[in-house]
């Protein structure tokens, strides 16, 4: 029953997050596009707010792939594409175990927790010549800290796959 409640809670939070992200797009006056619009663009700016460690992880993932022509720039003004990403770590309740304390009428409850990593971001084409920016890719990931790739690595990987496909690279 606890697992069902946990799953229901996670699904509810996810749907609220997607609705909030869609509302944010509308509030920022961004249009939706598709990844093929990255064709021919080479200058990427990675924005992670004030989190420089997250930015470095994403930039390192992009640089180690060495995509020909793709350049990570240091300001939004220089960019043709902007990657916006935020991540968080949260501790969630996984379960509880209650055992009797031998020789007493007491019980001891142990709470099991685990750490989840989550990340959300999007890539947009920078607006030029009176055109509004266009969202060409969005991303959301959540996983257990002990297993799987960090959301930063998954986001960079998804971006690189879409970028290569748009530009006919392997």
Q: What is the pLDDT of residue 17?
A: 47
Q: What is the pLDDT of residue 88?
A: 83
Query: Can you tell me which residue has the tokens 């969630």?
Result: 92
Q: What is the pLDDT of residue 148?
A: 62
Low-confidence ranges of the chain (pLDDT < 50): 2-3, 5-6, 17-21, 24-25, 27
The candidate with the shortest Cα–Cα distance to 90, out of 113, 112, 117, is: 117
The candidate with the shortest Cα–Cα distance to 156, out of 34, 2, 48, is: 48
Q: What is the pLDDT of residue 94?
A: 81
128-163 pLDDT per residue, tens: 665 678 899 998 888 766 666 688 888 999 999 999
Q: What is the pLDDT of residue 114?
A: 81
Q: What is the pLDDT of residue 113?
A: 85
Domains of the chain: residue spans and CATH: 32-166 (3.30.160)
**Alpha helix ranges (H) inside the chain:** 2-27, 52-65, 151-166
The C-alpha atoms of residue 113 and residue 104 are separated, in whole angstroms, by 27
């Amino acid at each position: 029953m606890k697992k069902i409640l946990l799953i229901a809670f996670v699904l509810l939070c996810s749907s609220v997050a997607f609705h909030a992200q869609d509302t944010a797009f509308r509030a920022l006056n961004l249009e939706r596009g598709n990844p093929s619009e990255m064709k021919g663009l080479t200058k990427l700016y990675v924005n992670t707010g004030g989190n420089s460690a997250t930015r470095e992880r994403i930039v390192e993932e992009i640089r180690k792939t060495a995509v020909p022509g793709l350049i990570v720039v240091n300001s939004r003004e220089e960019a043709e594409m902007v990657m916006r990403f935020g991540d968080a770590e949260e501790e969630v309740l996984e379960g509880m175990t209650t055992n009797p304390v031998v020789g007493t009428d007491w019980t001891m409850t142990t709470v099991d927790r685990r750490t989840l990593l989550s990340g959300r971001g999007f890539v947009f084409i920078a607006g030029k010549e009176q055109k509004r920016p266009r969202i060409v890719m969005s991303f959301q990931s959540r996983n257990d800290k002990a297993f799987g790739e960090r959301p930063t690595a998954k986001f960079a990987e998804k971006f690189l796959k879409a970028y290569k496909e748009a530009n006919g690279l392997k």
